[in-house]
Structure 1
């Protein structure tokens, strides 16, 4: 397994779905990764272009992410970058299909970064029979960080 760690800001509303096959929670969101470098010639800091990464989270971690994170929060995501490419079929008869190349992070761990914010941690009590669907539908939506 090839894991990477990404530091960024949640930049899109967090969406939760449930697998039709297993009923497990699946959460999708994006993080904006901003960085800067020091230009040696001018001595000034130069902002680099924002890099966006799509993140997918599964199972109990997904339910916790959905209940905890909100747009604007600084996060640390550790996971494997996986291929999420697809082929877009041509609308023209006999036309060439287009392969859309993209990747996403399949998260193994997601944490709130304490670099620019504080957090209160609460241990979640679950019994084995409680489904993530029951948990996510009874929770309140996270509030944006401003």
Structure 2
């Protein structure tokens, strides 16, 4: 058993497709391209060789990844590193790094993400009696926005004119 944990950043190189094993376990896999960069002598950036990694995700996280991740999505993956071997469709043996992911996050360093909460499945959108909010909503409510031209989110409590609630000219409630 390999206990090597790795964190790797890159871009999804394929679309994850949700699958189910014979025992009923839901899983998905996709390829991740990770390209390191270094400073060039002239002050610019140079890309180094791209490392391709096979990423496999199981259970509820697999469902969320399949619903949200698309080819090109910038990701940060945390998981267990291993090495896999396979044979291509034309019979060529191949091998390379693989990660069983425990965490998959969209990298927001070059883009924005808007989250629209959906009602938790089976909860009817109501709070449970213990004060919790029931199940965590699935990520199908996420919408990835374009990298450029994304408007800044409005300040919490702001009116359509951009003034915060409670400021002069807006008598609607507290400023939070």
Which TM-score applies when normalising by structure 2?
A: 0.59
Query: What's the counterpart of residue 67 of structure 1?
Result: 67
**Alpha carbons of structure 1 residues 123 and 58: separation in structure 2 relative to 1, 3 Å:** farther
Please show how residues 1-146 of structure 1 align to structure 2 within 5 Å.
1-21=3-23, 23-40=24-41, 42-85=42-85, 100-121=94-115, 122=117, 125-126=120-121
2:109, 2:96 → 1: CA distance? 30
Q: 1:106 to 1:124 in 2, by over 3 A?
A: farther
* Structure 1 unmatched ranges of 5 or more: 92-97, 128-138
Structure 2 contact 54–98 (Cα < 8 Å) conserved: yes
1:132 is matched with none
SS where residue 120 of structure 1 aligns?
Answer: strand
- Residue 128 of structure 2: aligned partner: none
For the pair shown, the structure with the greater C-alpha radius of gyration is: 2
CA RMSD of aligned residues (A): 3.0
Question: 3-state SS of the aligned residue for 2:62?
Answer: helix
C-alpha displacement at 1:120, in angstroms?
Answer: 2.7
Displacement of 1:2 after TM fit?
2.2
Cα deviation, 1:37-85, whole Å, max 9, x if unaligned, reads 1234x54432212111110001111001111111111010000112322
The TM-score, its normalising length taken from structure 1, stands at 0.70
Query: Structure 2: which 5+ residue stretches go unaligned?
Result: 123-138, 147-176
Distance 1:32 1:101, change over 3 A: closer
**Aligned partners of 1:113 and 1:103: how far apart in 2?**
21
| Cα distance in 2 between the residues matched to 1:102 and 1:65 | 22
Give the aligned length: 124
Shift, 1:103, TM fit: 2.8
Greater relative CO (CA pairs within 8 A, separation 6+): 1
Measure, in 2, the Cα distance between the counterparts of 1:19 and 1:60: 14
